[in-house]
Amino acid sequence: MIEVGTLILMGVFAALAIHSPLIRLSVIYLAVFSLLAAFLYVLFAAPELAIAEAVIGSGLVTLLYLAALKRSHVYTIGVVTTSNVVTTRNVVMHSGLVSDRYAERIERSKAVQEIRDFFIRREFETQLVFLTVPTGQALLDPAYDLVLAEDGEDLVVYTDEESYVMVELELVFQMHDSMSKVKFIRYSPEAVL
């Protein structure tokens, strides 16, 4: 009975580890999963394995994951969704929330893909955050490393003028000759204030 309960709990924690939104949380769920596995080994009369599993599975491996996680940087790109770009085809806002179709269109657009590839080459993970605040407010928020906004057909990229990575990004876009679609605007945080 306890065995079945432990197995079910292990399944639950495995599913939680896969589906949790934060990687840090997944690591902790995996540690709990490992501890339950150690408990199960004890129930199945394998205490030697239980010790090894408890020490390595929930001790050393968890720390290795956390150390690896500390190293991975996530680059947050804020996308300003202004209500004046509502078209008949794509509804941007739907009852105060950004619609899935709009988010998908932005995520699949060539410029965003190129920005992603640029950061992946530099071993940065990127995440898009869709904002419902005005551009000025988004620029002031230090949580967003890069702010995107749509201006008609063009995509406007607001970049910090002190960040030299953005100079490289601009150069990449110039080399690929897709500047017509993407505009770069450099700003200093003090000037916005």
Partner 1 sequence: MSETQILGESIIIRMVVGMLYPFMVLLGFYVIVNGHYTPGGGFQGGSVLATLFVARYVVFPVDDTDSERLHTIQRLFLMLILVVPTALLFTGVVTRYPALRGPYLTLMDLLIGIQVGFGLGVAVLRFAFFQGVGKTWHL
Contact mark string toward partner 1, 89..108, x via CB under 8 A: --------------------
Binding of partner 1 by 145 (CB under 8 A) = yes
Binding of partner 1 by 190 (CB under 8 A) = no
Instruction: Give the β-pairing of 146-151 and 154-160.
Output: antiparallel
Beta bridge partners of 138: none
Binding of partner 1 by 64 (CB under 8 A) = yes
**Cα–Cα dist 185/183, whole Å:** 7
Query: What distances in angstroms separate CA 108 from CA 20, 89, 103, one per listed residue?
Result: 24, 16, 9
> What six digits make up the tokens of 26?
């997944």
Residues 150-169 that bind partner 1 (CB under 8 A): 163, 165
Residues 108-137 that bind partner 1 (CB under 8 A): 122-123
- Residue 88 one-letter amino acid: T
Between 23 and 56, name the residue whose CB sits nearer to partner 1. 56
DSSP 96: T
Between 68 and 120, name the residue whose CB sits nearer to partner 1. 68
Q: How many residues are present in the chain?
A: 193
Which residues contact partner 1 (rule: CB under 8 A)?
47-48, 50-52, 55-56, 59-60, 63-64, 67-68, 73, 122-123, 145, 163, 165
